Structure 1
Amino acid sequence: MAVCYNTKLHYGVISNNCQHFVKDCLGVIGKSGDEKQFEGKVGELVDLLIKGGAQNTVPGDFATHEELNSHVMANLEQMTEADMEYCLCLYHLFHAFKEKESECSDRTCQEKNLEEALERKKASIA
């Protein structure tokens, strides 16, 4: 599948993007890509990516909780609602992979600040 995408197809935001690639890979292993593949917070992130795709404007990937915190602290005021929802899903994902499924013990965690900012933004629109 990777060879096909790299040699025969040209990337496009609307067609032949990463979501199409994943769906095609799922088809190769016998999954249609239409059924829900993931549960919990990972499922929420996957659903958000499928529905929103390139709509959020959050740059880059965050390999660590600290990188995500730094981005949120530096950009919170400029984030769109879609950006905030995407970052919240990433927080949930980082927290889901911690050893204990409890509140994040990282004192710099910006998840609560981000949730509050999203609620304020939604309230100001309504």
Structure 2
Amino acid sequence: MGGKETEFVKGLWVCNGVVFALLLAGALIWGSKSSALGVAVGGLIALANFKLMQRAIVKTLRPHVRKGLAMSSMLLKYYLRFAATVLVLGVLVSQNMVEPVGLLLGLSVVVITITTWGVISVRKLG
């Protein structure tokens, strides 16, 4: 990745960290322990999946990689990771290990970050 892309990704990760910390702090202050645990677990799952996807995309877009094979491999890994995530989430919720609302909020860390990042970028342009 070039300079601008690297800075963008670093900024996105800082924003992810800030959003995660704010959501977790809010859950610790105003929510139950189960809710805070849900936010923590959901946020960590979302951030781990985001990081793994980032690595897979960068690896796939390298110039010397055969695109068809690399894309197939990336998609297979994506679906396997998705299935594993669904399985883990199913166990967490079905066994009442975490509060579903807290878990959903934690899983939303990356979505909140990208949405906020987009709104800020549009405001800067306009």
What is the TM-score of this pair, normalised by structure 2?
0.31
User: When the two structures are superposed, what TM-score results if normalisation uses the length of structure 1?
Assistant: 0.31
For CA contacts below 8 A with separation 6 or more, give which structure has more relative contact order. 2
Which protein has the bigger helix share? 2
